[in-house]
Amino acid sequence: MKVSPTGAPAWTSSKPPLLRFLNACHADFLPETSGAVADYIPELGKADPAHFGISLATLDGHVYEVGDTQVPFTIQSMSKPFVFALALDTLGAARVESVIGVEPSGDPFNSIRLNAENHPFNPMVNAGAIACSGLIHEAKGDGAFEYIRQALGRFAGRELGVDDAVYSSESLTGDRNRAIGYLLRTNAVIKDHVNSVLEVYFRQCAILVNARDIAVMAATLANRGINPVTGEQVMTPYAISRTLSVMTSSGMYDYAGEWIYRVGMPAKSGVGGGILAALPGRIGLGSYSPKLDRHGNSVRGIKVCEALSAHYDLHMLNRSDNARNAVIADYDIGENPSRRSRRPHEQKILAAHYQDVRVIELMGTLSLSNVDYVARQLVARPRPQFVIFDFRRVTSMTLAGARLLAEEFQELAAYHVTVIVSGIKRADAEWQPIAERTGSLPNMRYYFLLDAAIEWAEDQVVFRHGGSIDFFETTELSEQPLLAGLTDEELTDLASLGAVRTYQPSQKIITTGDPATSLFFLRSGVVHVTLPDGIRLATLTAGMAFGEMALLEPRRSADVRADMSATAYEVPLHDFERFRKQHPRAGERIMRNLAQLLADRLILANAKLNLLTSN
């Protein structure tokens, strides 16, 4: 370990705790040498029993590797879940499910026994897996193996090769599997020649992988079929969930019950020495160590899975969901209005009707319990006229969450509440389950920016209560909050210092970083204040000042652009300073007004921060 001059370990040698844990597992189980390398396929007997690799892939695409994770070995029975998923997606669930069962057999993997309907018990035992290879052969003929190899490569995120020696070795000696093949054919589970189907099966079992590959393949299963490293949707969520189901009940053969009871993770082993475990929504694990127990499962691999599950309490049935964690903030426009500076009569209306606009900012995954919680929050307070749901931080929605949300939107619409959605584009793929169900809702609106949504809802409240918003109206200096309390004479003096400027729509008026040499009083039109990266700080309408920070700061700290044609008084700073000297009372008043406006902004900013952190 590198040591820094202060004696503390160098930060660069720090490891994520999960990697430390995997290292410890590796060290703990390396001395475990019980079990035997499979040799019923003679070529497998050549494996080095010392090899031991552990890899863990996270669903954000990080892959931890410890030990011999780059040593290639044949996938064997770990091909079964992937070929089953492939068969479901290629031939359709109905066809596959009509010839292969999903009950655990309680038998060893190579049992020559079918169920009462003369079908394989499940796709995880050899009979079911050979049936799957037969289905792929039916659909793809001579191209069947290549089709399978490509599909497994998409799960692994790289092109996978084949161990020809292991393949021929099994093909020469695989009489038991041939017996199963004939049994399947006589029961019409496979229709093509037994030999051609078994060639596909033996080749698929001889596909070469390493521990890292199977961790990524497992993580793809755990991630609803999206490979977390390549981002590719490899199989449909239906195929993936059904595959995980049979892995849960039958993945470890006649040890399956014990396995799911103790470890609680869908898993699959192969006689090549690999074990893959996929914990849905969490992780994919791949381990490689060739010595097997009497069930044909890797001895060290089982220990790794048991240790990981026990240490981090990963049993898949030991779960709960916090219904509240999807609501990051829930407020009305009294607590957090838009960034549009409102004129006094608009402020008055909004102050009286602040409960009309409710904003719910959501985050993370929207599930059944989260969305139900949101729906209950809405009924718990007086019914608003407008509800804005902000999706900017929503990362995904379960189907249940999407359904419930669409139903909630319909419920709100039935009570004439306008639903406004922000932070998402109507055309976004993840939005489609909701768009389909809410397409006919009368007054749903979409805004990309939350602030724009709040601003629109506020405008509606102002209109509904008789307030007008006249962007073309020209205001006088006497209406400027910054100049409140000045006498007519003082105002006339100040006006004589300013020049009236006219701006075209989207014309830039102030540029960040420029010397601040004047202040502006907007007479008509609308301008907006943005940071150079485009974040909108405020929208100002006639009667508001901008560039007023020139009184405190030597340089402009934001950009200002006209939204529509606008006019403003521009007062040069040096003239303004002269005015302050001539009218000390007015000067003092203006500075007080400025302090008040800044204090109001600070109070709002703090309230907003509070909303986001107190939930």
CB of 25 to ligand GLN, least distance (A): 23
Of 4, 109, 30, 21, give the one whose Cα is nearest residue 64. 21
**Which 8-state DSSP code applies to residue 448?**
S
Of 237, 150, 167, give the one whose Cα is nearest residue 202. 167
CB of 274 to ligand GLN, least distance (A): 9
Of 518, 515, 512, 522, give the one whose Cα is nearest residue 562. 522
**In this structure, which amino acid lies at residue 413?**
A
Pick 109 or 147: Cβ nearer ligand GLN:
109
Residue 283 to residue 57: CA distance in whole angstroms = 6
Tokens for 120?
């394989």
Of 291, 305, 228, give the one whose Cα is nearest residue 260. 305
Beta strand 418-422 with 445-447 is parallel
Pick 81 or 270: Cβ nearer ligand GLN:
270
Pick 131 or 549: Cβ nearer ligand GLN:
131
Pick 90 or 126: Cβ nearer ligand GLN:
126
**Which 8-state DSSP code applies to residue 498?**
-
Residues at the interface with ligand GLN (CB under 6 A): 76-77, 109-110, 126, 170, 177, 205, 270-271, 296
CB of 11 to ligand GLN, least distance (A): 44
Pick 177 or 438: Cβ nearer ligand GLN:
177
CB of 95 to ligand GLN, least distance (A): 23
Pick 163 or 330: Cβ nearer ligand GLN:
163
CB of 133 to ligand GLN, least distance (A): 11
Give the orientation angle of helix 573-582 with respect to helix 584-613, to 10 degrees: 120
Pick 297 or 524: Cβ nearer ligand GLN:
297
Tokens for 199?
């060639």
Are 435 and 403 in contact by the 8 Å Cβ rule? The answer is: no
What values do phi and psi take at 50, rounded to 5? -75, -25
DSSP helix/strand/coil, 56 = strand
CB of 91 to ligand GLN, least distance (A): 22
End-to-end CA distance of the chain, in Å? 42
Pick 58 or 171: Cβ nearer ligand GLN:
171
Residue 245 to residue 576: CA distance in whole angstroms = 76
Of 104, 130, 126, give the one whose Cα is nearest residue 115. 104
CA-to-CA separations, 233 to 219, 236, 253, 313, in angstroms, rounded: 12, 7, 29, 29
Beta strand 526-530 with 536-541 is antiparallel
Pick 100 or 314: Cβ nearer ligand GLN:
100
Pick 270 or 290: Cβ nearer ligand GLN:
270
Q: How many helices (H) and strands (E) does the chain have?
A: 20, 22
**In this structure, which amino acid lies at residue 114?**
L
Are 411 and 387 in contact by the 8 Å Cβ rule? The answer is: no
Pick 248 or 524: Cβ nearer ligand GLN:
248
Beta strand 274-279 with 267-269 is antiparallel
Pick 126 or 210: Cβ nearer ligand GLN:
126
Pick 109 or 431: Cβ nearer ligand GLN:
109
CB of 77 to ligand GLN, least distance (A): 3
CB of 108 to ligand GLN, least distance (A): 9
CB of 257 to ligand GLN, least distance (A): 17
DSSP helix/strand/coil, 361 = strand
CB of 130 to ligand GLN, least distance (A): 8
CA-to-CA separations, 502 to 384, 506, 524, in angstroms, rounded: 40, 12, 9
> Which of 244-261 are b and which e, b meaning 16 or more Cβ less than 10 Å from the residue's Cβ?
bebbbbbbbbbbbeebbe
Residue 44 Cα to chain centre, angstroms: 41
Residue 297 to residue 305: CA distance in whole angstroms = 12
CB of 259 to ligand GLN, least distance (A): 14
CB of 125 to ligand GLN, least distance (A): 9
CB of 268 to ligand GLN, least distance (A): 9
Pick 297 or 309: Cβ nearer ligand GLN:
297
Residue 339 to residue 358: CA distance in whole angstroms = 16
Pick 111 or 126: Cβ nearer ligand GLN:
126
CB of 179 to ligand GLN, least distance (A): 12
Closest chain position to ligand GLN (CB): 77
What values do phi and psi take at 95, rounded to 5? -65, -45
Are 566 and 524 in contact by the 8 Å Cβ rule? The answer is: yes
CB of 271 to ligand GLN, least distance (A): 4
Are 250 and 111 in contact by the 8 Å Cβ rule? The answer is: no
**Which 8-state DSSP code applies to residue 356?**
G
DSSP helix/strand/coil, 139 = helix
